[in-house]
Structure 1
Amino acid sequence: MNSNDLKIFEAAATLGSFTKAAEATFTVQSNVTARIKNLEDEFGAELFRRVSRKVVLTEAGETLLQYAKKIGRLLDDAKSDIQSADKIGGTVRIGCIETTMALKVPEIIKGFAELYPNVELEFYSSMLPALIQDVISYKLDAAFVAAPVNIPDLQQLVVRDEELVIIAGGDVEKLSVLLKQEPLKIVVFGQGCFFRARLETWLGSKGILRYKSTVLNSIEGVINFVEAGIGISLLPAEVVNQYYSKRNIKTFPISKELAAMTTLLIYRNNEIPSKALNVFLNQYR
């Protein structure tokens, strides 16, 4: 077995096809089949099973895929560290929620780039469950997420504490009056969004179980819809005050327990971080 065998295996696992894996790794299908057979013989387990016209991983294949990703990242980190022994370089893949992506990432990149110009930062936005899974599965090096996160495989650094507020259209005088509407209308991100989950928890604490949701995928969309009077939402007070203070919206406080939000930076704890990742983490240590 060599690292190329694992790359071929990972391509087949990702693409679900030996033919597509051959194209992606610039080889022929017979070589892919042979490499996979060698891996199966070495590990003494079947790695794929055929389903219709696709191949899918067995349980043993799923296990090997996690190790293959880990080995691949370690080799990339080693190459980067060795080639840039006199300077810090490489790529760091960072995940974040939508509000961080839209509003905080530019200042993160600017400050970091001035200190480490040879490190490339790649940012990806997603929902909380996906971000956690992507860090665990080596798709991301680290991610900004909302607490709590209690997973043994992950380390965490506290980045900041924030206060969440309800936002409503500028013509809303009393939130209590608005909450009596049937059904109440809310403007939220998709399922898995921390802000949506917290808003729904708050509504539940008020005995409001029926509401109509308008689902959007950007913070600008949420602000626009709330300003238009389509519904209420929930966002960090800092975000609203810093970036949307001139918009025709109003904010309303909620109980301290539900208003509190702690942002964490999570990363894997089962490996030594690359130099590039380590200096990124040092900003928050």
Structure 2
Amino acid sequence: MNSNDLRIFEAVALHSNFTRAAEAMFTVQSNVTARIRSLEEEFGASLFERNAKRVSLTPAGEVLMHYSKQISHLLEEAKNEIKNIDVLAGSLKIGCIETTMALRVPQILHDFGAAYPHVELEFKSAMRPELVQDVLDYKLDAAFVTGPISIAGLQQEPINEEQLVILTHGNAASLSSTLNRQTAPKIIVFDQGCVFRERLESLLSAKGIVQYKPIVVNSIEGIINFVESGLGISILPQQIITAFYASRNIKTFSLSKSLGTMTTVLISRSNRRPSKLMQVFIDMYKSQPGNVSSEG
């Protein structure tokens, strides 16, 4: 077995077809078939269920896929570190939730790009469940998510703490009066999987409010606009409001410590040590104002 055998194996799994895998690997189908047969003989197990139209991984194939991804990424990291041993270069793919993207990413992109011009830094914004799965699937090198996280295969490093606040229209006298005005209050939220939505729904549940109408939007700006228009209430980090929306006609109300404190952690796979590039990124990110290493 060699690394090319594993690349062929992954191509067959991806395309569910030997012919399409051969095209993707710029080889012939007979070679793909031979390499898969060789792997199956080496491991003493069938890796694919075969039928006339497509193939799919067997349980043994699923196990090999898990390790094949690890091997592929370790080889790529080794090549990058050796190639760029004297110059920091390569690429990092980092995930983050929407508020981290708005608050932290622009500055780190600027600072990191200026200090390390040969590094390609790519960010993806998504909900926590998707980011966690992308890290596990090697689609992301790491991700900033709300913690704590206790998932097999992941390690976490605390980054910062933020205070969440309830947002209402600027004319609201109090949060209680706003909630009591209607039997089914409207909440302005991101889609399912958003930690802010979870916290807001927990607050309503604690107040005995089980009927409410969610209005789902896909941006922070959308949440601010809807709340300012009096369409409902929402929840966001206080720092977002202070930094970008202090002049808007909205009012904020504090939360209890349990609901109002949000801890951000950086998750990565626990089966690999941080690369030199990743460690430099972590150190620079944590040195930004408001993060753990800069809070003293």
Q: TM-score, normalised by structure 1?
A: 0.93
Instruction: For 1:43-54, list aligned pairs within 5 A.
Output: 43-50=43-50, 53-54=53-54
Moved beyond 4 Å, runs of 4+: none
The residue number in structure 1 matching 2:113 is: 113
Q: How many residues get paired?
A: 285
Change in 2 beyond 3 A, CA 1:247/1:52: farther
Shift of 1:52: 7.6
Structure-1 separation of matches of 2:20 and 2:247: 52
The residue number in structure 2 matching 1:249 is: 250
| Residue type of the alignment partner of 1:276 | L
Change in 2 beyond 3 A, CA 1:56/1:248: farther
Any idea what the Cα deviations from partners look like across 1:255-276, whole Å, max 9, x if unmatched?
1211011111111222222221
Structure-1 separation of matches of 2:126 and 2:141: 14
Structure-2 separation of matches of 1:243 and 1:105: 15
Shift of 1:214: 1.2
Change in 2 beyond 3 A, CA 1:14/1:169: farther
The residue number in structure 1 matching 2:160 is: 160
The residue number in structure 1 matching 2:59 is: 59
| Residue type of the alignment partner of 2:255 | I
Instruction: For 1:221-240, list aligned pairs within 5 A.
Output: 221-240=222-241
Structure-1 separation of matches of 2:175 and 2:254: 10
Contact 1:77 1:90 in 2 (8 A): no
The residue number in structure 2 matching 1:101 is: 101
Q: Percent identity?
A: 56
The residue number in structure 1 matching 2:75 is: 75
Give the match's secondary structure for 1:257: helix
Change in 2 beyond 3 A, CA 1:42/1:188: same
Contact 1:89 1:275 in 2 (8 A): no
Structure-2 separation of matches of 1:145 and 1:168: 25
| Residue type of the alignment partner of 2:239 | E
Give the match's secondary structure for 1:277: helix
Change in 2 beyond 3 A, CA 1:240/1:55: farther
- Most deviating of 7-16 and 211-220: 7-16
The residue number in structure 1 matching 2:86 is: 86
Any idea what the Cα deviations from partners look like across 1:196-226, whole Å, max 9, x if unmatched?
1111111111111111111122222222222
The residue number in structure 1 matching 2:290 is: none
The residue number in structure 1 matching 2:3 is: 3
Structure-2 separation of matches of 1:126 and 1:212: 23
**RMSD of aligned residue pairs (Cα, Å):** 1.8
| Residue type of the alignment partner of 1:122 | E
Shift of 1:50: 4.0
Match status 1:30 vs 2:23? no
Shift of 1:80: 0.9
Shift of 1:75: 1.1
Give the match's secondary structure for 1:179: helix
Q: Name structure 2 gaps, 5 residues minimum.
A: 287-292
Give the match's secondary structure for 2:164: strand
Structure-2 separation of matches of 1:112 and 1:39: 43
Q: TM-score, normalised by structure 2?
A: 0.90
The residue number in structure 1 matching 2:289 is: none
Change in 2 beyond 3 A, CA 1:164/1:61: same
Structure-2 separation of matches of 1:267 and 1:216: 29
Instruction: For 1:203-222, list aligned pairs within 5 A.
Output: 203-222=204-223
